[in-house]
Homo-oligomer: A and B are copies of this chain.
Amino acid sequence: MTTKHEFFVDMTCEGCSGAVTRVLNKLGGVQFEIDLPNKKVFIESDKDTDVLLETLKKTGKAANYIGPNDLKDDHEEKRLTTVLLSCLHGPLE
């Protein structure tokens, strides 16, 4: 199971998300996605979350660790959607 870590980073423009992209690429050993409108950064890495948070804080932006954001959540959500759809449409015959 891969664990994604969810961080809040106070980004307000493309320049801000670009800066976060550059510090994370410089750190290396990370895969990440940035959700600028919601000020979230999702990072997959073997590195300690403290290291990831310190790296994000280097940008001078306010940053917090929110918590793990497991990839299995996506599967769980899809499963629930399937269950809901089967409730709406009735069981398959």
Which residues of A does B touch, CB under 8 Å? 10-16, 18-23, 26, 58-61
Contacts and interface: CB of A to CB of B under 8 A. Distances in A.
Contact of A11 (B15, B20, B23, B26): B15
8 closest cross-chain pairs (CB), A and B = A19-B60, A12-B15, A22-B60, A13-B13, A23-B60, A58-B58, A15-B16, A59-B60
Contacts of A23: 58, 60
> How many monomers of this protein are in the complex?
2
B19 A61 contact: yes
A16 to B, nearest CB: 5
Contact of A13 (B12, B21, B59, B60): B12
A16 B13 CA distance: 8
